[in-house]
Amino acid sequence: MQSRKRYVAFVILVSFVHNVTSSVTHYSIPEEMKEGSVVANLATDLSLDVKTLNVRKMRLDLLANKKYLDVNKETGELYVVEKIDREHLCTKMLTSCYLKMEVTLENPLRIFNIELEILDINDNAPQFRRDVIHLDISESTPTGERFSLSNAVDPDVGSNSVKTYHLSASAHFTIEIQTGRDGSKFADLILKKALDREKQAVHNLILTAVDGGTPARSGTVSIIVHVSDTNDNAPTFDKSIYTVKIMENSPIGSLVINLNASDLDDGSNSDLMYLYSLYTSEKTQETFNLNPSTGEITVKGMLNYEDFKIYDMEVIATDKGVNSLSGQCTIKILVEDMNDNHPEISIKSFQSPVNENIELDTVIAVVSVSDKDSGDNGVVDLHIPHNMPFKLRESSDNYYQLVVSQPLDREKVPEYDITFTVTDRGSPPLSDNETMTLELLDVNDNVPQFPQSFYTIRVMENNAPGALLSSLTAFDPDLHENQYLVYIILEKEIANTSMSMLFSINPENGNLYALKTFDYEIEKEFLFHIEARDSGSPPLSSNVTVHIIIVDQNDNAPVIVSPWRAHGSVVEEKIPRSTDKGSLIAKVIALDTDSVHNSRITYQFLQVTDATLFSLDQYNGEIRTMRMFSYRDPRHQRLVVVAKDNGDPALSATVTIKLSTVETAVKAYSDMTEVPLEYDIFSDLNLYLVIGLGSVSFLLLITILVTIVLKCQKPKPSKAAPPSRNSVISERNSTVADSTLVSNDAYWYSLFLAETRKGKLVVRQPVPKGSRYIVSSIPRGTGLTETSDSAASTLQV
């Protein structure tokens, strides 16, 4: 678990009154600190002896109704006993919140006044007083109209209180944020586009209040806008002209036509009233009755085909709005010669409900038909709609069976309204119909389905255990227990660890949780399956593949592996003062176990004695000389190199390299015996010593040099380049049997001097016979033998 940062500050003001010391100590802590958290050490801050706290009966008195804090008499530490809620302790109107207490000690009596400031944290989200705000707005309201909304409240103070509001996307509304005198924020709803109730009667909006904390918290409220109607639409009929045929001798009250006018308005603006126009004859009005409320036209008087064959009428539909609007239609009624007996339908048997997996050709109903007429007027035909998975099969005269002709699926059609229509063959034919409702019972025939077959979930490492990763929800179109789903993780072991030990899923809603904190450097991904199983009998199930990818955080600092040094120690290196410009002094290598992006390391000097003397390659960590050493350069150089990774924030490590420049020193090895060699008497360090020694040492040196030159004299050599530090292979990396290795430039210059102008190699010190020196190049004409090697050449004396 991540440790919670604690900031405690205190100020002590001491005053002496008689024999009692009164102290004012100020501390500051954030609210909601965990129980047992240490606020401060009173013994240290008040300069008290910890060993005497029990003897002096140290006690803490809080000026509050709860004991939030206490003192450990063994250590003198002031610690939290109960979590402190600033909003409960102090009102929102107070910008500062203090908890006062007294510490009392006896023998001698001393009283210390302690003042603890409770700092606010963003632990409360903004809340609205109501969950839903209802607004009634007329569709005739002009744009720009404002509507006040209740503001959100946040118990927190300062920057943690409500700062702004956001409104969900809407083509008709927007908000404008206002600031009150006390600094509180509230929003006004503004109409930016005219409303039309006939297009959209209700607008659902979401208002979100966001505070200024880090991270920010928010609260929401639903705004439901009901658009009030105005009478701006006239009634309309389905058709402008209706043609109706009616048989003579139709009984009184027979329905001729049911006019269906509609008005898009609402309320009284859509209530219609039907009446005849002035152009409708009195004879027509006496023969047919018009219902002013429903628009039904029925037979009012006897119809006689020989008297009137056609009736014409005009009907007006008027709404009941304040400024009423109307529409009209023309109706033509044709009276036909009578086929005056209608066929009849009788349902003998009907089976409902049935299972959706009912077998084909199963009988659902038995129907009989009849007609009292004779001849063609008495011959009837029975049929049902063609778009249904049923068919009629005649079993005997005028008896029909309704059977299943196609597979039924409750998930597509849960019930069927089957209309039986019987028609005779008269002229005109008469018909009758009967509608029966067939309900289908659910069968567990659908497996649960996930929206996706593969889920990729990215999880940041160092996540909190129990964190919600994703919600994997499947859908089952079946009903009741066949629809209730249970989610489980299919077991799979990785490195002897079960998936159920790493993840858990809520069996009811499919919420996937992490049970542990993941480390990218240890585990980078997981692949497992989640199964959704319904509760049918037998149960059906399906599964989905889940791919968990652990995302790296920059939580590992670089580790310097070269140059090696003990923990906290300084790396010491010695280099000759005669080192050439561009020579490699050292190479810093650091490693970072984070991912590629976070582990990209750059190097730079944090501290350097002389910035003009050394250069550092920021990518490979190589330290090279920028020039040769001069007499004024200090002999000791201190380099502090920092290796920084590419993370955000970046992590780093440092190494301190102490460089010491030395004069030429030689170590020769022959038969595992150390042979000391003379130092160059012409070096700058020994110059004054040579002068003091006098002529005896000078003559001895001349004798030695003349002897070496005579022995090594050869034909005139070609021009040769002076050896550099890179020309000598390190003694630590190469070993040649019966050879003395040149380990650095200083040793090379102590033995030989390359005279490039004359093309000679002059021996400056006695060289043991038979010795070999491995170098990368040998000046020609030196009298020395050169043999080829893969990485260098061998100098044979």
Clarify whether residues 214 and 253 are in a common domain. Answer: no
Task: Note whether 323 and 349 are same-domain residues.
Answer: no
Helix (H, G, I), strand (E, B) or coil at 510: coil
Instruction: Tell me: cis bond preceding 353? Omega within 30 of 0 counts.
Output: yes
pLDDT at 247: 84
Q: Which of 4-13, 341-350, 476-485 has the lowest mean pLDDT?
A: 4-13
Quote the pLDDT of residue 151: 85
**DSSP reduced 3-state for 143:** coil
Note the pLDDT of residue 102.
Answer: 86
Taken in order 518, 521, 522, 526, the sign of the CA dihedral is positive
Give the model confidence (pLDDT) of 350-402 as tens digits. 988 998 889 999 999 999 998 876 667 778 889 999 889 999 998 888 899 99
The full DSSP string for 287-338 is HEEE-TTT-EEEE-S---TTT-SEEEEEEEEEE-STT--EEEEEEEEEEE--
Is residue 542 packed enough to be buried (19+ CB in 10 Å), middle (13-18) or exposed (0-12)?
middle
Higher-scoring residue by pLDDT: 101, 681: 101
Query: 558: cis peptide before it, omega within 30°?
Result: no
Report the 10 Å Cβ neighbour count for 58. 22
In one letter, which amino acid is 503?
F
Query: CA 250, 252, 254, 257 torsion: positive or negative?
Result: positive
The arithmetic mean of pLDDT across residues 566-593, rounded, is 83
Highest mean pLDDT among 62-71, 465-474, 603-612, 776-785: 465-474
pLDDT band at 94 (very low <50, low <70, confident <90, very high): low
Does the residue 775 lie in any domain? no
Residue 370 sits at φ, ψ, to 5 deg, of -160, 155
- pLDDT for residue 1 is more than 50: no
Quote the pLDDT of residue 23. 59
Q: What is the largest CA-CA distance in the chain?
A: 168
pLDDT at 274 over 90: yes
Q: How far are the Cα atoms of 47, 624, 628, 727, 790 from residue 583, in angstroms, in the given order? A: 59, 5, 9, 11, 22
- Among 603, 634, 662, the domain-final residue is 662
Query: Nearest-CA neighbor of 701 among 672, 681, 671, 673?
Result: 681
Res. 669: pLDDT tops 70: no
Token duo for residue 144: 């720009």
**34 and 114 both lie in a single domain:** yes
Q: Are residues 572 and 529 in the same domain?
A: no
DSSP run (H or E) holding 404 = strand 399-404
Residue 95 lies in domain:
25-118
Using DSSP, state whether 670 is helix, strand or coil: strand
3-class DSSP state of 266: coil
- For residue 403, list its beta bridge partners: 363, 391
CATH number at residue 289: 2.60.40.60
Domain end, chosen from 59, 84, 118, is at 118
The pLDDT assigned to 288 comes to: 94
- Domain assignment present for 4: no
Give the mean pLDDT of 399-426.
91
Who's near 413: CB < 8 A, 6+ residues apart?
440
Contacts of residue 643, Cβ cutoff 8 Å, sequence gap at least 6: 558, 560, 588, 590, 601, 602, 603, 621, 652, 653, 654, 655
User: What is the per-residue pLDDT across 178-201, written as a single tens digit (0 to 9) for each?
Assistant: 887 777 888 889 999 988 888 888
pLDDT of residue 569: 67
Is the predicted pLDDT of residue 685 greater than 80, yes or no?
no
Q: What pLDDT is attached to residue 577?
A: 85
**Is residue 610 situated within a structural domain?**
yes
Please check whether residues 325 and 378 belong to one and the same domain.
no
Residue 481 lies in a domain: yes
Query: Would residue 244 count as lying in a domain?
Result: yes
At residue 792, does pLDDT exceed 80?
no
Range in 179-188, 459-468, 504-513, 772-781 the model is least confident about: 772-781
Q: Cα–Cα distance between 471 and 506 in angstroms, integer?
A: 9
Q: What percent of the chain has pLDDT over 90?
A: 23
Name the nearest CA neighbour of 677 among 748, 774, 578: 748
pLDDT above 70 coverage of the chain, percent: 80
How many angstroms separate the Cα of 202 from the Cα of each of 87, 130, 431?
39, 19, 44
Q: What is the pLDDT of residues 287-298, one digit of tens each?
A: 999 999 999 999
Q: Find the helix or strand (DSSP H, E) in which 691 lies.
A: helix 687-693
pLDDT level of residue 456 (50, 70, 90 thresholds): very high
pLDDT at 317: 93
- What is the DSSP annotation of 578-627? TPPTT-EEEE-EEE--S-TTTT--EEEEEEES-TTTEEE-TTT-EEEESS
Instruction: Tell me the pLDDT band of 777, cut-offs 50, 70 and 90.
Output: very low
Does residue 288 sit within a domain?
yes
With tokens 């070269």, the residue in question is: 562
How far is 420 from 439, CA to CA, in rounded Å? 16
Write down the pLDDT at residue 664: 61
Q: What mean pLDDT is reported for the chain? A: 79
Q: How confident is the model at residue 212 (pLDDT cuts 50, 70, 90)?
A: confident
323 shares its domain with 363: no
Does residue 435 belong to any structural domain of this protein? Answer: yes
Same domain flag for 319 and 244: yes
Q: pLDDT tens-digit profile of 485-515?
A: 999 998 876 656 788 888 999 999 999 999 9
pLDDT, residue 689, reads 52
Q: Which letter does DSSP use for residue 286 in this model?
A: H
Name the pLDDT band for 69 (thresholds 50, 70, 90). Answer: confident
Number of domain units in the chain: 6
Whether 67 and 151 map to the same domain: the answer is: no
pTM of the model: 0.38
Q: Cβ of 475: how many Cβ atoms within 10 Å? A: 12
The lowest-confidence range among 354-368, 677-691, 779-793 is 779-793
Q: Shortest CA distance to 245 belongs to which of 235, 253, 231, 255?
A: 255
* pLDDT given at position 138: 83
Q: How far apart are CA 474 and CA 489, in angstroms?
A: 14
Residues 283 and 266 reside in one and the same domain: yes
On whether both 525 and 565 belong to a single domain, the answer is no
> Based on the domain organization, do 216 and 246 belong to the same domain?
no
Sign of the torsion formed by the C-alpha atoms of 754, 758, 763 and 764? negative
Angle at 707 between CA 705 and CA 710, to 5 degrees: 105
Q: From 534, 551, 568, give the residue that closes a domain.
A: 551
Taking the CA atoms of residue 295, residue 301, residue 303 and residue 307 in that order, the dihedral angle to the nearest 10 degrees is -120
Under DSSP, is residue 514 helix (H, G, I), strand (E, B) or coil?
strand
pLDDT the model gives residue 97:
84
Contact 792, 775 (CB under 8 A): yes
Please report whether residue 9 resides in a domain. no
Question: From CA 773, how far away is CA 778, in angstroms rounded?
Answer: 10
The mean per-residue pLDDT over the stretch 392-417 comes to 90
In angstroms, the CA 330 to CA 313 distance is: 6
- For residue 661 the two structure tokens come to 């420049």
Distances (CA, A) of 238 to 263, 328, 579, 721: 11, 11, 106, 111
Does position 764 have pLDDT exceeding 60, yes or no?
no
DSSP characters for 726-774? GGB--TTT---TT-----SHHHHHHHEEEETTTTEEEE-S---TT-EEE
Bridge partners of 399, per DSSP, are 368, 396
Q: What is the 3-state secondary structure (H, E, C) of 365-384?
A: EEEEEECCCCHHHHCEEEEC
d(CA 37, CA 4): 10
Same domain flag for 326 and 420: no
318 has which bridge partners? 273, 326
